[in-house]
Amino acid sequence: MGDRGGVIVVGVDGSAGAAAALDFALAEGWKRACAVEVVTAWLGGGHDGSPDSDELADGRERVQHMQDQVVARSLAGQVSVPELRRVVVHDYAGRVLISRAELASMLVVGSGSPSSASHQVLGSVAEYCVRHSPVPVVIVPAPERIERRAAASRG
């Protein structure tokens, strides 16, 4: 296992599960005195499947804005914050996360949507990360999954 200065890599895609993963990574980063690298990857292309430069620029701007909003919401709830690094990459999320985690101390991802038809337990990116990560992977459940489980145990 590598250790890139105690970096925790966390995937953020705008979902509730990813926001919960970011909250976990920030808290864990602070406890461990580790930097937290927030990674967002996206795919998108033109009509023939190959993105042109305008589409890439527009896509990057939209994804960066989404990441900005998710990070801002998460930081608003934090008392103490570790060093924060941010990365936006045009590629498949699983591949990017595994690459970024190569020398990290851990990789944190949110679980898939509880209503997802396929990959009902983890989600495709989380599953890819579990199968290919060179470092430990922490999978944080989506808040609605926790709420559903709590409601079921009460009633």
- For residue range 33-85, what is the model confidence (pLDDT) as tens digits? 999 999 999 987 544 555 668 888 899 999 999 999 999 999 997 888 999 99
- How many other β-carbons are positioned within 10 Å of the β-carbon of residue 90? 16
Binned at pLDDT 50, 70 and 90, residue 123 comes out as confident
The reported pLDDT for the residue numbered 143 is 82
CATH topology of domain 8-154: Rossmann fold (3.40.50)
Calculate helix-pair angle for 93-100, 124-132, nearest 10 degrees: 40
Is the pLDDT higher at 38 or at 114? Answer: 38
The reported pLDDT for the residue numbered 116 is 44
What is the distance, to the nearest Å, from the Cα of residue 95 to the centroid of all Cα atoms in its chain?
12
